[in-house]
Structure 1
Amino acid sequence: MDESGIHDYLAILKRRRLPFFVTFFAVLTLSVIFTSLWSSYRSTAMVQIQQPDIPESVATPSGVPSASQIQALADQRINQIQQRITSTAALVDIITKFDLYPSARRSKPMTEIVEAMGKKIKLEMVSADMANPAAAQRLQSGQLAAIAFTVSFDYADPLKTQLTVSDLIGRFLDEDAKQRREQAAETSAFLARQVTELDAKMLVQEKAISDFRAAHAENRPEALALNQQNAANIAISIQSVETRIAEIERTRGDIMAQLAVVDPYSRVIADGQILTTPAIQLKALQAKYSTSLGQYGEFHPDVIKLRRQIEGLRSQMGQSPETADLNAQIIDTQTGLAAAETTLGPDHPDVRAYQRRKAELETRLAVASREPLRHETLKADADNPAYLMLVAQSNSARNQHAALLVQRTTLERQLAKLRQAIAETPAVEQQYAALARDYDNSQLRYRELNAKKMAADMSATVEQNGKSERLVLLNPAELPTDTRPKRSLLLAAGLFLSLVAGIVMIGLTESLSRSVHGTSHLAALTGVAPLVTISHIFTHDEQAAARRHQVLVAGLVSGGLVLAAVLINALVIPLDVVWSTVLRKFGLG
């Protein structure tokens, strides 16, 4: 019964082979297409973040971030490089270089292809846990001491996948080295310009401070104590000079008082008679002048003659022209007053006018008389020893008085200058403090910039010598031998689904058929088994057709095998890769 069932199944399979194979190959083709589109080869390369060859304490000057701090942000720099090498222009260059996505480029715009390729490029950081929890908390997840990273790419062609990853890694390394060199060179050049500009600025500030100190040499803040001390000393000196001036003025007053009572001429006795001195002659002429003026009037020749004689004697006696004129005016006023009182009375307005005139002239004469005697007003031919001694003392006192006046004026000028300097010191100190503060800030900034420039120059030297932190290819991209997910599993699943679909199609077509096939089917339908079964007798034409069919089947099988090889080479794995893998397995590669 079992054998009969198996034969029936085989008969059904033989009878329904066409829908089976159509369904089988249709589902298998769809699975192959799905497998080729969904699975792809992945090539991965690993790049290590190489630590500097030079110790951190030597390569990193004071005030510059250490390598450990820079390492914590290594992923940020790597991500920046990734953005550059996965830009549209860079990916278009790679697509053109390796002829990626040839069919898609004929039907889709390049921007969509580049976007799809960018999604296929994966960068993953390889990090190590930091020993310091506090430092780890300050960083985000995935930024903990990045020590390496991997770059992978998914594509249908394993060789092109490997070449693409190798090209991406090369661009990574080149871009990192270029970026570091350019950054070090630009930083050094920028800091050099800043140092040069600041140096020029400091020269201007130094000149401004020098000019300011030269312009305010006497009222600088550091000279305040000296100026105050000098001002106090000069004030004491002025008081001393004024005391000496007062003493000399008293001495000159005493001398002038003595000169007023000492006759400049000595009394000379000749032939038993005392010769008249100019003073006695002056008094006699003044008395005679008053009498003649009352008798003859002001313009009488005798009166004019007497007035001239009086002026000459007064000049000889050392009176100044102003004093002599005032004496003459007083005499005239007295003469007029005496005549007016005699003729007009004491209460007449003219008499009062003469009195006021006389009082005014006497006041002016008193003032003129108190003026110190000048050397040229003294009597040149005086011969009285006492008078000459007083004149010498007067001249000496006058010279001392003049010298002390000059000294006092000089000291007062010096004191005024010092007091002005002391008064201006706070404003000058404020201005100088502003200049000094700006210069100190510039000096501090200069030291900082100079230290940074030295660090930048050292970094540039280290970069040029290849001794700094850098990216090193640790694991190069290898030729992938399997897809992700594995195409063999997908094809096996597709083959299984194809068989199931073919069997389902056989059952479906057999259940829908109205034909009677075999004795079992007939017995099942009629309920009575047939008496005799006659086998099919093949004719000559049927045998020829069978042979042709076998040839056709062999050709289809051969073509299927060739097609399968082509599909495997195109969709699964290149046959040369399979051959190389097999040789390596047996140690013949």
Structure 2
Amino acid sequence: MTVAELESSPEDQPSDGFIGYLPSILWQRRWLLLIPGLLGLVAGVAAAYTVPSTFRSSALLLVESPELASDITGGRATNSIEQRIAKIRQQVLSRPDLIQLIETNGLYAELREAQPLSELIEEMRSATTIAPVNADVAANQGPSTIAFSLTFDYPDPIKAQVVAQGFVERLMKLDATQTAREAAGTVQFLQDQTDDLAEQVSTLEGQINQIKAANGTALASAGMMMMSGSGGSAPSQIAALQRENAQLSAQLTTLASASDRDPAVVAAEAQLAGARAVYSDNHPDVRLAQQRLVEAKQFATRNIAMQNTAMATIRQQIAANNETIRALSSAESTEQAREIAMRSAQARAPAITEQIAQLQARLDSLRKNYDLSATKLIAAQGAAKLAEQQKNERLSVIEPPVVADSPHWPNRPLLIAGGPVAGLGLGLVLVLLLELLARPIRGVGALQRITGEIPLVVIPTVREPRRRPRLFQPKRRKARRVALTD
């Protein structure tokens, strides 16, 4: 074969890789595949019939939906079923409960002398499975967990069923107890919170009412313009009354001076004295003077009575005016005090209003929290009532644990089939590892990659096909040799 023919030959190009020689490699190293495969088959058969059998007892628990709609009960006040089962699982698989099950049912009798109790408990925990069963439902349709499976593995099928039944009973009891206890605890917590908020609301309302009662004038004057006073009417009235009293006092003085000595009486007395000085008492002029004196005194008496009446009237008017003056003065003082108090209240009104506004804001926030807490309390009370009547979300056994009629482990067909498969896989790994370590030269491409040159001649290996021996061929060869000898 020439160099040009070698360069143009596609099967001998350096592009030939490891995959192209894989069938020949496997045939060349076939014993590395067959021997591990046979050993794996033997090991699988031996394991299938020598590994101790383990029986599984399982139960299926259904998560029943609440009997009443969530809009009637106010929603769920308890934890989700997954959280409840997680808590219950920790309680079911607690150390005291497992020790009680081990001692009651005589579990792991052969291992008690060789292993400590803590290892037996861990082995029992690993043999127990509590797993949720999920369903393909939309995310907006609520939780997808609709059931739970409980399994227990043990070499004795009867004891496996008894222990699984004990787990189921314990699980159901704890679920009902825990749901009721959590509902009652939620109700108590919300009740305390609602009572505390109600007390705070009442206290704030009392503070606001007390501030309003103590500062009614300031609050009434807040936002109100200061009303003007009487416009000076009281002082002018007082001055007018005082002027009127001065005039009445002058009249009273005049009347009092006029009542001391009547002029007509004085003149009649003077005329009588003059007549007596000239005439005797029986003289007609003296008697006439006496008569005029008597008449003057009678007239003076009438005038004095009238003057006294007028003076009493004037005194009463002066007293009435003085009383009016005192009333006007008192009213003016009261008005001035009211104006001063109003101005002071107006000065204090902004601070009091701000204080009341802050307390009112706190009161509104507390009322909102109180309403929210009261709503939650009603929902929690409904949930507690449902838990008490067993009408909320709960567990029910739909498949109780039974005695297994066949072992769960080992899976003999799987072990028997898996042994040779694992052996062949191990042999394939050995073949590939040996090929990578030995790195034999296979083909022109590998030689060219090593030397960097193209070989001049390629000598193919020609193997003569084996011929099957024929039945009568040895006899013919023997006859031919005999003929040649002759």
CA RMSD of aligned residues (A): 4.3
Q: Is the 8 A contact 2:48 2:416 kept in 1?
A: no
1:212 shift after superposition: 3.9
Q: Is the 8 A contact 1:255 1:394 kept in 2?
A: yes
Report the residue type matching 1:149 in the other structure: F
Following the alignment from structure 1 to structure 2, what is the Cα–Cα distance between the partners of residues 481 and 385?
A: 140
The residue that corresponds to 2:133 in the other structure is: 126
Following the alignment from structure 2 to structure 1, what is the Cα–Cα distance between the partners of residues 204 and 57?
A: 63
The residue that corresponds to 2:451 in the other structure is: none
Give the secondary structure class of the aligned counterpart of 2:403: coil
Q: Which runs of 5+ in 1 are unaligned?
A: 1-26, 137-142, 276-380, 497-589
Matched, 1:160 2:152: no
Following the alignment from structure 1 to structure 2, what is the Cα–Cα distance between the partners of residues 406 and 149?
A: 92
Matched, 1:91 2:98: yes
1:178 shift after superposition: 0.8
Following the alignment from structure 1 to structure 2, what is the Cα–Cα distance between the partners of residues 130 and 243?
A: 95
The residue that corresponds to 1:465 in the other structure is: 389
The partner residue of 1:43 within 46, 57, 60 is 57
Following the alignment from structure 1 to structure 2, what is the Cα–Cα distance between the partners of residues 28 and 272?
A: 175
Q: Is the 8 A contact 1:35 1:491 kept in 2?
A: no
CA 1:105/1:95 → structure 2, altered by over 3 Å: closer, same or farther? same
Matched, 1:265 2:257: yes
Q: 1:392-419 CA distances to partner (integer Å, 9 max, x unpaired)?
A: 7655544432221122112222333333
**Which moves more between the two structures, 150-159 or 207-216?**
207-216
Following the alignment from structure 2 to structure 1, what is the Cα–Cα distance between the partners of residues 308 and 381?
A: 100
Q: Is the 8 A contact 2:55 2:155 kept in 1?
A: yes
Report the residue type matching 1:117 in the other structure: M
The residue that corresponds to 1:453 in the other structure is: 377
The residue that corresponds to 1:116 in the other structure is: 123
CA 1:181/1:263 → structure 2, altered by over 3 Å: closer, same or farther? closer
Matched, 1:239 2:253: no
The residue that corresponds to 2:181 in the other structure is: 182
CA 1:28/1:389 → structure 2, altered by over 3 Å: closer, same or farther? closer
Give the secondary structure class of the aligned counterpart of 2:111: helix
Q: 1:132-157 CA distances to partner (integer Å, 9 max, x unpaired)?
A: 4xx59xxxxxx961111211122211
CA 1:144/1:264 → structure 2, altered by over 3 Å: closer, same or farther? closer
1:252 shift after superposition: 5.4
The residue that corresponds to 2:296 in the other structure is: none
Following the alignment from structure 1 to structure 2, what is the Cα–Cα distance between the partners of residues 252 and 419?
A: 36
Q: Is the 8 A contact 1:56 1:66 kept in 2?
A: no
Structure with greater contact order relative to length (CA < 8 Å, sep ≥ 6): 2
1:206 shift after superposition: 4.5
The residue that corresponds to 1:55 in the other structure is: 69
Report the residue type matching 2:337 in the other structure: R
Following the alignment from structure 1 to structure 2, what is the Cα–Cα distance between the partners of residues 190 and 28?
A: 61
Instruction: Give the fraction of aligned pairs with identical amino acids, expressed as a percent.
Output: 25
CA 1:385/1:202 → structure 2, altered by over 3 Å: closer, same or farther? closer
The residue that corresponds to 1:302 in the other structure is: none
Q: 1:143-174 CA distances to partner (integer Å, 9 max, x unpaired)?
A: 96111121112221111112222211222111
Matched, 1:426 2:440: no
Following the alignment from structure 2 to structure 1, what is the Cα–Cα distance between the partners of residues 214 and 362?
A: 19
1:189 shift after superposition: 2.8
The partner residue of 1:416 within 305, 329, 340 is 340
Q: Is the 8 A contact 1:173 1:471 kept in 2?
A: yes
Number of aligned pairs?
342
CA 1:126/1:492 → structure 2, altered by over 3 Å: closer, same or farther? closer
The residue that corresponds to 1:485 in the other structure is: 409
Following the alignment from structure 2 to structure 1, what is the Cα–Cα distance between the partners of residues 361 and 395?
A: 46
Following the alignment from structure 1 to structure 2, what is the Cα–Cα distance between the partners of residues 53 and 162?
A: 32
Matched, 1:78 2:70: no
Report the residue type matching 1:470 in the other structure: R
The residue that corresponds to 1:548 in the other structure is: none
Give the secondary structure class of the aligned counterpart of 1:53: coil
Give the secondary structure class of the aligned counterpart of 1:106: coil
1:103 shift after superposition: 1.8
Following the alignment from structure 1 to structure 2, what is the Cα–Cα distance between the partners of residues 424 and 105?
A: 87
CA 1:237/1:159 → structure 2, altered by over 3 Å: closer, same or farther? same
1:176 shift after superposition: 0.8
Following the alignment from structure 1 to structure 2, what is the Cα–Cα distance between the partners of residues 105 and 481?
A: 27
Following the alignment from structure 1 to structure 2, what is the Cα–Cα distance between the partners of residues 33 and 102?
A: 23
Following the alignment from structure 1 to structure 2, what is the Cα–Cα distance between the partners of residues 491 and 172?
A: 35
The partner residue of 1:474 within 380, 391, 398 is 398
Q: Map 1:251-262; keep pairs closer than 5 Å.
A: none
Following the alignment from structure 1 to structure 2, what is the Cα–Cα distance between the partners of residues 158 and 95?
A: 15
Following the alignment from structure 1 to structure 2, what is the Cα–Cα distance between the partners of residues 111 and 273?
A: 152
- TM-score, reference length from structure 1: 0.49
Following the alignment from structure 1 to structure 2, what is the Cα–Cα distance between the partners of residues 456 and 188?
A: 5
1:491 shift after superposition: 9.7
The residue that corresponds to 2:108 in the other structure is: 101
Give the secondary structure class of the aligned counterpart of 2:110: helix
CA 1:468/1:395 → structure 2, altered by over 3 Å: closer, same or farther? closer
The residue that corresponds to 1:172 in the other structure is: 171
Give the secondary structure class of the aligned counterpart of 2:395: strand
Q: Map 1:361-380; keep pairs closer than 5 Å.
A: none
Q: Is the 8 A contact 2:176 2:394 kept in 1?
A: yes
Following the alignment from structure 2 to structure 1, what is the Cα–Cα distance between the partners of residues 44 and 76?
A: 62
The residue that corresponds to 1:147 in the other structure is: 146
CA 1:57/1:254 → structure 2, altered by over 3 Å: closer, same or farther? same
Q: Which runs of 5+ in 2 are unaligned?
A: 1-42, 271-304, 421-486
Following the alignment from structure 1 to structure 2, what is the Cα–Cα distance between the partners of residues 104 and 46?
A: 30
Q: Map 1:291-370; keep pairs closer than 5 Å.
A: none
CA 1:93/1:250 → structure 2, altered by over 3 Å: closer, same or farther? same
1:87 shift after superposition: 1.8
Q: Is the 8 A contact 1:265 1:384 kept in 2?
A: no
Q: 1:160-203 CA distances to partner (integer Å, 9 max, x unpaired)?
A: 11222221122211111111011112222333333444444444
The residue that corresponds to 2:324 in the other structure is: 400
